[in-house]
Structure 1
Amino acid sequence: MHIFYNKQGIGDVLLFPFKTVTHNHITFETYGDVVEIRENQTNEVIGYNIFHASSYMSDLETGKIVVDETIVSKLGEIFKKNNVPTELSIDLSPKFVVGQVVEMKPHENADKLRVCQVDIGEETLQIVCGAPNVDIHQKVVVAKVGAIMPSGLEIKPSNLRGIDSFGMLCSQKELGLPNAPKEKGIYVLPNDYVLGEPFEF
């Protein structure tokens, strides 16, 4: 997860998106310097804007800032100072990780889909995949539930033709990697990638 700061480009505002929405059905609630942004239909918090950010965090750097425990602590202090009633709850676990396909079988109700068991180190996820090149023993990039793809798509638990799926095996194009091949297929990683490690891109 990242926050964004560009004082020269947009002013002294810290942008803190939880997820991307593709419509205008959002509402805003202001608490001092903190603006809480919610999705209308679900009332889910999708992000915050923090104004006069440099008065709270003097060491801000322009660009994308990785959210870690220190940042979460500082954001919590900002929320308290501005009497934000919503408790800040942030899952800091990596959402894009190195996995390995340890089992694969055909989908019972779809010829082009495969039901994969994917070891991500701490657990094994069942992921339904339609990529033509997926195979057992491959090291792959796994977008876990809660991951936000570069396209803005949020990965959620799903049910594909009657089979539950908890994540996605990613292609280079889906990850927004430069020079991604045009052919369909997941990104098969070299074997020296470490199982369960975050995949940085």
Structure 2
Amino acid sequence: MIISSYNKDGIGDVLLVMTKSSVAKDQNFETKGKITRIFNVLTKKTVGYNFFDSSDYFSINANGPLTLNTEQISILNNFLLKQGFTDQLEGDEAPKFIIGYVKECISHPNSDHLSITQVEVDNQQVVQIVCGAANIAVGQKVVVAKVGAMMPDGTAIWDGELRGEKSRGMVCSAKELGIKEEQVKKGILVLPDSAVVGTEFQK
């Protein structure tokens, strides 16, 4: 699982690839050629790569989050090997913003405002998501940012835990999706009954 982004105007011709959740204080890095590997200082495991002069690898038409295809992943893996890195990237082209259905919603035992939900996403998979929105309820069709998604503000979605309960993804509000709030009610974005569960959400 990787999360990728590219913003030439903001940081230059650098492809950012994240492979694990990490915080800056726990990171160190090593550079070989035009590739910088970021790793956890305690575990030594890779948490991401920066590919400099990335247009040398392939053309990127993006300004923000992007999904790398199989061919692009293969090209990057070849460059990693040529520079002496042993890790190999594993891509996932499946949509990351999915229309979900809230099948269950209970109060979090260790919080007065969080809810533990069971949400059906694509391929009838049900995932547990801890949600802080007051308006979430059973029977709603909602937008789910799956693990591997990157939000418009740059936040990466990884497996997590809130107050001791596992959370795999995020139920999104309009603001988090970059939709003007005045167009919808506050809280999570509740979709009409006509929305098809398991399909990709399109703004």
User: For the superposition of Structure 1 and Structure 2, which TM-score range results when normalised by the shorter chain?
Assistant: 0.7 to 0.9
Distance 1:32 1:106, change over 3 A: closer
Q: 1:198 aligns with which of 179, 195, 200?
A: 200
Aligned 1:13-52 pairs, distance under 5 A: 13-18=13-18, 23=24, 25-52=26-53
Q: What CA distance in whole angstroms lies between the structure 1 residues aligned with 2:71 and 2:27?
A: 29
Please say if residues 148 and 155 of structure 1, whose CA atoms lie closer than 8 Å, have aligned partners that are also in contact.
Answer: no
Distance 1:173 1:77, change over 3 A: same
Point out 4+ residue stretches in structure 1 off by more than 6 angstroms. none
Aligned 1:62-73 pairs, distance under 5 A: 63-64=63-64, 65-73=66-74
Q: Does 2:113 correspond to 1:112?
A: yes
Q: What CA distance in whole angstroms lies between the structure 1 residues aligned with 2:24 and 2:78?
A: 31
Structure 1 residue 120, shift from structure 2 partner: 0.5
Compute the RMSD of aligned alpha carbons. Answer: 3.2
Identity score, percent: 36
Q: 2:140 aligns with which of 132, 138, 141?
A: 138
Distance 1:180 1:72, change over 3 A: same
Q: 1:158 aligns with which of 161, 179, 184?
A: 161
Please say if residues 69 and 91 of structure 2, whose CA atoms lie closer than 8 Å, have aligned partners that are also in contact.
Answer: no
* Cα shift readout 1:5-32 (whole Å, capped 9, x = no counterpart): 52x7655x33223168664553221222
Distance 1:21 1:200, change over 3 A: farther
Q: Which is richer in helix?
A: 2
Unaligned runs of 5+ in 1: none
Farther off after superposition, 36-45 or 113-122: 36-45
Structure 1 residue 188, shift from structure 2 partner: 0.8
Number of matched pairs: 196
Structure with greater Cα Rg: 1
* Cα shift readout 1:137-186 (whole Å, capped 9, x = no counterpart): 211111233444435354423153x54433321112233x1422597511
Q: What CA distance in whole angstroms lies between the structure 1 residues aligned with 2:63 and 2:170?
A: 28
Please say if residues 21 and 152 of structure 1, whose CA atoms lie closer than 8 Å, have aligned partners that are also in contact.
Answer: no
Distance 1:43 1:171, change over 3 A: farther
Distance 1:144 1:55, change over 3 A: closer
Distance 1:128 1:61, change over 3 A: closer
Unaligned runs of 5+ in 2: none
